Chains A and B, each alone.
Chain A
Amino acid sequence: MKDKQFWSVAGIIFVLFMIYWVAGHPFFVAERAVMFWAIMIVSGILIYSTRMAKRGEEIFLRSIPGLKAVEEAVGRSTEMGKPVLYVPGIMDMDQVETVAGVVVLGHVAKMTARYETSLNVPVSRAIVMKAARESCRESYLIEGRPDLFHDDMVHYLTDDQFAYAAGVNGIMIREEPAACLYMGKFYAESLLLAETGNSIGAIQIAGTASPSQIPFFVTACDYTLIGEEFFAASAYLSQEPELIGGVKGQDYLKILAISVILLGTLFNYFHELNLISWDLLGFLTVQ
């Protein structure tokens, strides 16, 4: 209730939609109304939290060891005079995880610029190469060290999954980076990369939202960001209020999701016992 502007806009959108609905909702796929409102509510919660954070509300975020360790890892590389290896996943920019990986790369690049550590970013897709290059270039510029940046810092290897893994393994064995960061979408090559990194004694921090690869990273890496922690990495590293507010909003969404699950279980149970006729699960199922 603290944000009058937000509630006014939300109210206006609601009223307009109601008018549109009563007017016969032309062109609207009525069967998907539940999903539409779910999106509006979820977006509303995220936008509200973001705005509250921007206004200066104190938000507590629990510490994530993996993210604290990123600066440590870069520092370790600096001390040892070895490069930092950053792997932004093997998929293209159409995957949200890859975009998140490039975002985290920007933060890591700021650290390497600050500490004057060399950064090696082998990529698997050409578009990711361009995006990652821009992100690194900006980071080095912001840190006032554009002289340290060069295009070949971010270089393309190959699109093929295992050829890429072979290439990255080769880089690890030859250059022996002191820190290996794996942030993005991975498949079966995750263990190949992590084990090779382990064999060269590098500190390894992984972040992925691929559920099947998380166990491999947990086993082989020093720190792992699991699922949402990886998406929250940008907020943690930048400490920007809007991003932190977004993370807080995700927590509210989780509470909402848990409530819906519990209520849904209860309602479904009553429905199967014929105590209530309304099928909540049928209502929430959208196709």
Chain B
Amino acid sequence: MEKFLDFIVKAGSLDRRVIFVVIALAVMLPLFFPLGLPIRPTNSSQQVYDVVEELEAGDKALLSFEYGPSTKPEIHPMAVALLRHLMSKDVKVYITCLWPDGQFMAMEALDQVAVNQYGKVYGEDYVLLGYRPGAEAIIKGLVSNIRKVYTVDSRGDFLDDIPMMVGVNQVADFDFLFSASAGYPGTVEWVQYAADPVGITMSTGTTSIQVNEVMPYVQSGQIKGILGGMPGAAEYESLIGQAGIGTSGMDAQSVAHVIIVVFIIFGNISFFVERRRSKKY
């Protein structure tokens, strides 16, 4: 018994490298050997889905891409899933980017969904306005007059020459706003300067860490639903019935979370044994 307790106390001060190796295995193995755990959508993801479901063909959706390569694994799957949902309903998609990296992310998502999957026509079904520096100033500019901020789109074509830009002059002309955001500028700025003052229906997708910060806006009704990180992306994929990277990553995330919980419990057992021993002596 004493030897067993000794082992527990020693194992309690595990080298962090051991933890790293175990976590690496916990994440990698389910990617090669999927468990196929069913995904259960939460209320906040369901809310986003319901809002998009209410849109009709020809409605206009403004999407803002505010993430980069580092947060791509969390947010790109939800952006792709949302684009799939919008394009399957023939909603017109307008894309703006407040982060320079966001433009590259948007191009990738559009290639995958608009071009390769749905065969949509640029300028008629979707348009990529591109990146503009200025954070809140860009949002305020879009609220008052889009052409103040954008004279040309990302390809260099004049906005007035793009068929789907006819009659679209400000944020109020859109039916839906979605911010795929990993930080600043992002969701909070869109709520403060666009969604709340203008009254446009807004949903958002953020990294898991940011959900905390954005939740008060969801609860107050200023944002209709939130997709939180990769779980949120997986939930949305299950709602639209098209599994993607989000879904495939959930097995790995599940196993990793379980492993972390096991480590925590183990660490506490070791902590208690050590404390009891030191009290004894």
A–B proximity contact (CB within 8 A): yes
| A residues in contact (CB < 8 Å) with B | 91, 161-162, 187-188, 199, 211-213, 287
**Which residues of B lie under 8 Å from residue A188 when comparing CB positions?**
70-71, 183, 207, 209
Q: A91-B184, A188-B207, A199-B16 are in contact. Are A212 and B70 (CB under 8 A)?
A: no
Q: What would 17 A/B residue contacts be, using CB atoms closer than 8 Å?
A: A91-B184, A161-B70, A162-B70, A187-B184, A188-B70, A188-B71, A188-B183, A188-B207, A199-B16, A211-B212, A212-B209, A212-B210, A212-B212, A212-B213, A213-B209, A287-B196, A287-B197
**Which residues of A lie under 8 Å from residue B71 when comparing CB positions?**
188
A162 to B183, CA, bound (A): 13
CB distance from B108 to the nearest CB of A (A): 19
Interface class of chain B by DSSP:
helix
**Which residues of B lie under 8 Å from residue A212 when comparing CB positions?**
209-210, 212-213
Q: Which residue of B lies closest to A285 (CB)?
A: B196
A284 to B165, CA, bound (A): 37
**Which residues of A lie under 8 Å from residue B70 when comparing CB positions?**
161-162, 188
Q: Which residue of B lies closest to A210 (CB)?
A: B213
A211 to B217, CA, bound (A): 14
A91 to B16, CA, bound (A): 30
- A-facing mask of B141-185, CB < 8 A → 1, else 0? 000000000000000000000000000000000000000000110
Q: Which residue of B lies closest to A94 (CB)?
A: B135
**Which residues of A lie under 8 Å from residue B207 when comparing CB positions?**
188
What 4 A-B pairs have minimum CB-CB distances, sorted nearest first? A212-B209, A287-B197, A212-B213, A187-B183
- A-facing mask of B67-91, CB < 8 A → 1, else 0? 0001100000000000000000000
Contact of A211 among B184, B197, B213 (CB under 8 A): B213
CB distance from A29 to the nearest CB of B (A): 13
A161 to B213, CA, bound (A): 19
**Which residues of B lie under 8 Å from residue A199 when comparing CB positions?**
16
CB distance from B135 to the nearest CB of A (A): 9
Interface centre among A161, A187, A199 (most CB of B within 10 A): A187
**Which residues of A lie under 8 Å from residue B16 when comparing CB positions?**
199
Q: Which residue of B lies closest to A185 (CB)?
A: B184
**Which residues of B lie under 8 Å from residue A211 when comparing CB positions?**
212-213
CB distance from B84 to the nearest CB of A (A): 27
CB distance from A193 to the nearest CB of B (A): 15
- A-facing mask of B202-217, CB < 8 A → 1, else 0? 0000010110110000
A287 to B197, CA, bound (A): 6
A209 to B184, CA, bound (A): 14
A161 to B183, CA, bound (A): 11
**Which residues of A lie under 8 Å from residue B196 when comparing CB positions?**
287
